[in-house]
Amino acid sequence: MEIEDLTPVLESEQRAGIGIIGCADIAVRRALPAIGRSPFRLVALASRSREKARTAAAAAGCAAVEGYERLLELPGVDAVYIPLPNSEHAKWAHRALEAGKHVLLEKPAVPAEGTARELVALAEERGLVVMENFAFLRHPQHAQARALVDDGAIGRLRSYHGVFGIPPTDPRGIKYQADLGGGALWEVGCYPVRAAQEYLGPSARVLGAGLKWDPELGVDVSGAALLGDDDGVSASCSFGLSHGYRSAYELWGSEGRLVLEWAFTPSVGARPVLRLQQKDRETQILAPASDQFVGVFTTFHDAVRDPAARARHHRELVRQARLMEDVRAQALGGRTR
């Protein structure tokens, strides 16, 4: 589809239009299929490479755009999804907001609280939403877990323990490039930290952290963080890029324990099992299969259409950036590397 052919299509559509800035693997493999099943209307996909844009856009049935700025100038693009390397997030989110576009940023959105606050201030000034894409939160298993905890299934919550580790891959990959925002904390550590916030109170803070660095790669390859709140609930988070795959968290209460064994990256057709342990019995609760990326684009669309839904996403973005910045600062002894 050529850009020049878009106008009549745009005039006939009522759903919010979305464009994608970048052809990252996560965009092509997960976001494009999900957008097609979400309330959004996919308008265009941009890449710095004309051929890459054409190949990805042809499969998705949308316009191909060479250059990110050109996508921001297209009619009918109400919102953008930005799955660029971490180092590019703040720059292109700022430009998109200035262009009047709602923004969904791939995780981790930004590395510092100050940057998050700047983006939120700009979004609110322009009447827009900026949201961080933690798609796992939109899987039904987490709502099930929250409901069980709220209903007292494990008594009073005492602690959370989250882990996310993946095996090593090609060291030339983006996740190992320091100048692109790579490293274990940003790549996988953000998941258990973000999940912990679903169970810690608003007073959540970092109590301690450590990172293991690979001197040849120049990035952290594993780490751990300890968080806590004023109610005495603790949250330990372990993560790494040199581990056997594990993606889980457990909630330990005064009367039992709840375990989610496939918490962050379940496949679309999978039905994760929640294990509820109470005294001398264990109950297995089967979660429904769900494409969590459809869930996140549906949630983002709701925020685009409903201004009242935006404040929560802005608070979550700032809080996550603050905690992640503090984890890194604690691990480095208050220094910047």
Q: Please determine, for residue 8, whether its predicted confidence score (pLDDT) is greater than 70.
A: no
pLDDT at 336: 41
119, 97 contact by CB (below 8 A): yes
231 assigned to some structural domain = yes
Claim to verify: residue 157 and residue 284 sit in the same structural domain:
yes
DSSP state of 189: I
Q: For residue 194, what are the domain limits?
A: 140-289
The CATH number of whichever domain residue 58 belongs to comes to 3.40.50.720
Q: What is the mean pLDDT of residues 150-157?
A: 98
Claim to verify: residue 218 and residue 90 sit in the same structural domain:
no
Give percent of the chain above pLDDT 70: 95
Q: Which of 107, 175, 212, 279 is an active site residue?
A: 107
The CATH number of whichever domain residue 239 belongs to comes to 3.30.360.10
Claim to verify: residue 191 and residue 269 sit in the same structural domain:
yes
Q: Please determine, for residue 304, whether its predicted confidence score (pLDDT) is greater than 50.
A: yes
pLDDT digits (tens, 9 = 90+) for 75-103: 899 999 999 999 999 999 999 999 999 99
How many CB atoms are closer than 10 A to CB 231?
A: 12
Tokens of residue 309, six digits: 């839904």
Claim to verify: residue 184 and residue 251 sit in the same structural domain:
yes
Claim to verify: residue 129 and residue 226 sit in the same structural domain:
no
Lowest mean pLDDT segment, chosen from 50-54, 77-81, 272-276, 303-307: 50-54
Number of domains in the chain: 2
Claim to verify: residue 227 and residue 267 sit in the same structural domain:
yes
How many CB atoms are closer than 10 A to CB 14?
A: 5
Taking the C-alpha atoms of residue 325 and residue 58, their distance in angstroms, rounded to an integer, is: 39
300 assigned to some structural domain = no
Q: Please determine, for residue 10, whether its predicted confidence score (pLDDT) is greater than 90.
A: no
Claim to verify: residue 83 and residue 165 sit in the same structural domain:
no
Q: Please determine, for residue 64, whether its predicted confidence score (pLDDT) is greater than 50.
A: yes
How far from 190 is each of 68, 97, 106, 302, CA to CA, in Å? Answer: 26, 24, 12, 24
Claim to verify: residue 146 and residue 215 sit in the same structural domain:
yes
Claim to verify: residue 160 and residue 129 sit in the same structural domain:
no
pLDDT at 14: 74
Confidence band (pLDDT; 50, 70, 90) for 12? very low
The answer to pTM > 0.85 is yes
107 assigned to active site: yes
pLDDT at 131: 98
How far from 243 is each of 39, 107, 167, 188, CA to CA, in Å? Answer: 37, 21, 5, 11
